[in-house]
Structure 1
Amino acid sequence: MADHYDVLGVARDASQEQIKKAYRKLARELHPDVNPSADAEERFKAVTHAYDVLSDPQQRQSYDTGGSSAGMGGGFGGFGDIFETFFGGGASQRGPRSRAERGQDALIRVQVTLDEVVFGTHRDLEIDTAVLCEVCEGSACQPGTHPVTCDICHGAGQIQRTVRSLLGNVVTAVPCGSCQGYGTVIATPCAHCNGQGRVRATRTVPVDVPSGVETGLRLQMPGSGEVGPFGGPSGDLYLEMRVAEHEVFSRNDDDLLCTLEVPMVDAILGTSTTITALDGEVELEIRPGVQSGEVLTIKNRGITHLRGSGRGDLRVGVQVVTPAKLDGKARELIESFGARHTSSGPQLARFQQGLFQRMRDRFANR
């Protein structure tokens, strides 16, 4: 079998553009509509087959490294290609194909604060993406020009190929290698977008982040991704949420958790206090004798449910703080208090991982 590079008359390190140019030149000379001789027809088949292999990067790499571009039986890439060549399986698409393609989806990460998660928030995101070329408006042609009809397939996007087989001569249609099946050639590409119909640019995307989002959640924005080549429809934009840690509050589903340090005297006598939640101030009553590890629940002051109504709760874990240093008078008072309240003294109890672990255990049991 003749070497594909020799058939096209190009060097082995020829670029794709050089290979395409050589094929188009030979195809004009050997096409059956131009040169009806039997020798020209055979050469046209060989030239077309060589171009089919070398114009595809994967097939070319396989060919260059010694792989077979012919497959079994001489000239076809295995049983599937034989079937397509004999019975026209590769010609299921009739007419030229469209250059316009759907743009790729895009994924960006958005960080929000826990405060913003409570009720949701709005963001204007600056993203680098592909947008429609304003010069050619997606046509990929220099303004004032238009795609020209392919002089090989005459706009059909396909060419007829006659194959000799055990069944006799079979005529099948394959995509035109000159225009890649489009039926037209862009003779004067738009200089602004290099003939792609789109350019890279920074675009502002307004986003309404709903309440209740959590880290790892992805929001889909249909049609907000990259514009497709040649004015094709846009892909989708996916927003992957990241919720920043808060210095005071943590989260358990839609409940907010925090720790309230209560001085020992207030824990003994009870008190009322005002705490600042994520959405404003809250009055909290602390009963006399409250113990470390107890959880005080404030209803409906947590996070608004995702795509729903209602809110979680604010759960406040109590940590009683005993004074580290006492002056003489304070010590006397504590000793007097201790004398009036007998106890069995310190006792061993089951090991606990800490206040937050105890709080979470209590939440799980509710």
Structure 2
Amino acid sequence: MSTKDWIEKDYYKILGVSKDADAAEVKKAYRNLARELHPDRNKDDKSAETRFKDVSEAYSVLSDPEKRKQYDEARTLFGGGVRTPGGPGGGSFGFDLGDIFPGGGGGEGGLGDVFGGLFGQRSRSRSASARRGADVETDVSISFAEAVDGKTVPLRMTSSSACTSCAGTGARAGTVPRVCAACTGTGYTSTDSGGFGMTEPCRDCKGRGLVVDDPCPACSGSGRGATSKVMHVRIPAGVVDGQRIRLRAKGAPGERGGRAGDLYVTVHVGSHPVFGRKGEHLTVTVPVTFPEATLGAEIKVPTLNGAPVTLKLPAGTPNGQTFRVRGRGATRRDGTRGDLLVTVQVEVPDQVSASARKALEDYQTEMSGDDIRAELMRKAAEGG
């Protein structure tokens, strides 16, 4: 609400009292109207809610002698209200306010700046009472296989929401909070220093715009209470250990129409005794025998959450060579899957039978004419 709107409103009419009403009459009128229009008695009634705010605003000004004096002087100066020509109720001037107040109404450098110091507030397009909820952080642990395919996990969340005893007002049942006189309900105060305007949350109401004189015993006047609920969160397929997932508007609920905060879930992924991860691909190391690597063979390879696949090793497969099995890796965001990367490892037996030793000795004799390290030695000598 802009300063222009504030000057224009007839607070005496809103409270239903005369301009000569004393402080007791103003207070009595406010209490009667506040009791009648309180949100607890008029749930889902927007018109009553609007009138309740107007009544609270009027009382915050007329109950303060200094602000009431400034208000009366301003209305006297401008003939009972500032109105633009052709506006509701007619105009108090026969010319456009823009002719004498650059910017017209409540914009930067306009009427709001002229009267900002008088009433201690600046024009604001949104009510300061609407507050965004707090962000919430939690952790979840899932298995290696669940991270690959995705999983929906239940999370018990404890967060702050409107107190059920006072419906979020912070005031004891049967009473109502009053509009903060220091910031007139905006939640902010402004000071001018050397031509620079400084705006900060009001210290009297801590940015709420309302002051509670008789606090609710359940929430100690904060208007908030702890609630616990179970939320089912989908952990996407392909998530990696330590990844932080953001869920918009799943955090603590906002106050008075404000947007809920966000929920941040940090995922911890367990290890697997057989498989590893390399981006969107799974990895596995498979042992093979010397004859299988030398002569070639068809071997069984395990897959994650599926039947084994057959891998054909060509003759002369070296130790450490990696083969690719298409479509048996981790799930991608588009629903397709990466590959399974199979690395073969030639196993050397600790013990061999007598017949096996004889076969190996015969093989060694057969291959004795070939020095497999000759090329290595030649390159080493040339390099020196």
Shift of 1:210: 1.1
1:46 matched to which residue of 2?
Answer: none
1:126 matched to which residue of 2?
Answer: 156
Q: Distance in 2 between matches of 1:143 and 1:244?
A: 51
- Secondary structure in structure 1 of the residue aligned to 2:249: coil
Task: Structure 2: state its 5+ residue gaps.
Answer: 1-60, 71-112, 193-199, 377-384
1:146 aligns with 2:176: yes
**In the alignment, is the contact (CA less than 8 A) between 2:134 and 2:254 conserved in 1?**
yes
Alignment map for 1:257-268 (pairs within 5 Å): 257-268=283-294
- Secondary structure in structure 2 of the residue aligned to 1:333: helix
State which of 303, 316, 320 in structure 1 corresponds to 2:330.
303
1:290 matched to which residue of 2?
Answer: 317
Q: Distance in 1 between matches of 2:204 and 2:176?
A: 17
Shift of 1:259: 0.5
1:88 aligns with 2:114: no
1:87–1:322 distance in 2 versus 1, CA, 3 Å: same
1:48 matched to which residue of 2?
Answer: none
1:178–1:270 distance in 2 versus 1, CA, 3 Å: closer
Task: Structure 1: state its 5+ residue gaps.
Answer: 1-26, 37-83, 164-173, 351-366
Shift of 1:271: 3.2
Q: Which amino acid aligns with 1:293?
A: G
Q: Distance in 1 between matches of 2:361 and 2:341?
A: 34
State which of 23, 32, 41 in structure 1 corresponds to 2:66.
32
1:29–1:261 distance in 2 versus 1, CA, 3 Å: closer
Q: Distance in 2 between matches of 1:283 and 1:176?
A: 69
Q: Distance in 2 between matches of 1:299 and 1:232?
A: 49
1:115 aligns with 2:141: no
Q: Deviations over 1:120-169 (max 9, x none)?
A: 1111112332233333332323344333466x5897669xx9x9xxxxxx
Q: Distance in 2 between matches of 1:346 and 1:85?
A: 95
- Secondary structure in structure 2 of the residue aligned to 1:91: coil
1:177–1:204 distance in 2 versus 1, CA, 3 Å: closer
**In the alignment, is the contact (CA less than 8 A) between 2:121 and 2:183 conserved in 1?**
no
Q: Which amino acid aligns with 2:216?
A: C
Q: Distance in 2 between matches of 1:338 and 1:304?
A: 47
Alignment map for 1:272-291 (pairs within 5 Å): 272-284=298-310, 285-291=312-318
1:94–1:289 distance in 2 versus 1, CA, 3 Å: closer
- Secondary structure in structure 2 of the residue aligned to 1:339: helix
Q: How many residues align?
A: 266
1:348–1:175 distance in 2 versus 1, CA, 3 Å: same
State which of 241, 244, 253 in structure 2 corresponds to 1:215.
241
- Structure 2 length normalisation: TM-score? 0.57
Q: Deviations over 1:93-116 (max 9, x none)?
A: 369954342122123233333211
Shift of 1:289: 3.1
RMSD: 4.2
Shift of 1:187: 3.2
